[in-house]
Amino acid sequence: SPAAELPPPYTAIASPGASSVPVINCRVCQSLINLDGKLHQHVVKCTVCNEATPIKNPPSGKKYVRCQCNCLLICKDTSRKIGCPRPNCRRIITLGPVMLIPEEQPAQPALPVQPDGTRVVCGHCGNTFLWMELRFNTLAKCPHCKKISSVGSALPRRRCCAYITIGMICIFIGVGLTVGTQEFARRFHATYVSWAVAYLLGLICLIRACYWGAIKVSYPEHSFA
C-alpha cells in the first residue's frame, strides 16, 4: 500500500453563536457539524464534504479506519487488510502492527463554553457586567463605575421592611418607657439611658431602612420583569 496522506488534524470546538447545541469539527474539511438530534448515532456525515466523522465508539469487535481518500471504514479489530469500497479508490489498506493508516478515534462533542454567571445591567451607569454568583438578591460591585447595587429588588425590599419594623418597635418601646417611668426616672437618673438606647436603636434602624429603600437595583439582562 502506498504511503498514506493523513486527513487534516481536527479539534472539537464550540460555535461562538450557539446557545446549547453540541457541535464538532468534520475530520476532513473542518466544517462544523451540528449534532442536535444525532447523538444516538455512531457516525455523522458532514453536509459540506459528505464524509463521515465518528462520535461514538465502534460496535464491539470493530474499529474505525480512514482511507487515504477520506472514506471512513468500519472493520473487525483483528483485520490486517481491508479494501476501500469506493469505485474511484479501491485501495488495499494494510493494518499491521505499525499501521500505515491509523485507527480513527471517536470525536467528543463539545457544548459551547460560556463562563458561569449572568450578565447584569448596572443600576447606576447602565453598563453590563458578568455576575458570577449562583443566586440573585445580593449586592454586587459594578466593575465600570465601582458602585454597589443590589442584584434583584427582593433583597432591598425585605431589608427595608425589616428595618422599618424593628425601628418602629424600638421607638414605641422608647415612648412607653418615657411615659411609664417618668416618676422612677426623677429618682434614678440612669433610667434616662434606657430611653436614649431605645430611641437611638429606632433611629439607626430607620436610617438603615432609608438606605435599603434608596439603593440602586441592577437587573439580569433581558429580565426586567
- Computed over every residue of the chain, the mean pLDDT equals 78
Model pLDDT, residue 4: 43
The secondary structure of 117-149 as a DSSP string is: SEEEE-TTT--EEEE--SSSSEEEE-TTT--EE
Per-residue pLDDT band at 163 (split at 50, 70, 90): very high
Q: Which DSSP category does 16 fall into?
A: T
Choose the weakest-confidence range: 79-83, 106-110, 155-159.
106-110
48-49-53 Cα angle (round to 5):
100
Please give the residue that has the higher pLDDT: either 99 or 164.
164
Judge whether residue 20 has pLDDT over 70: no
Q: Is 217 helix (H, G, I), strand (E, B) or coil?
A: strand
d(CA 124, CA 225): 18
Q: Quote the CA–CA distance of 62 and 193 in Å, as a whole number.
A: 89
- Could you say which of 46, 75, 84, 122 is catalytic? 75
* Whole-number Å distance between alpha carbons of 130 and 148: 14
Check pLDDT > 70 for residue 8. no
Question: Is residue 209 left, alpha or beta, with left meaning phi > 0 and alpha meaning psi from -120 to 50?
Answer: alpha
Q: Which three cell numbers stand for residue 127?
A: 453598563
- Is 75 a catalytic site residue? yes
The residue type at 143: P
Residue 223 makes CB contacts below 8 A (sequence gap 6+) with none
Please state the φ and ψ torsions of residue 32, each to the nearest 5 degrees.
-75, 135
pLDDT in tens, 127-144: 888 777 655 567 888 888
Lowest mean pLDDT among 91-100, 146-155, 157-166, 206-215: 91-100
CB 38 within 8 A of CB 46: no
Pairwise CA distance, residues 132 & 118, whole Å? 7
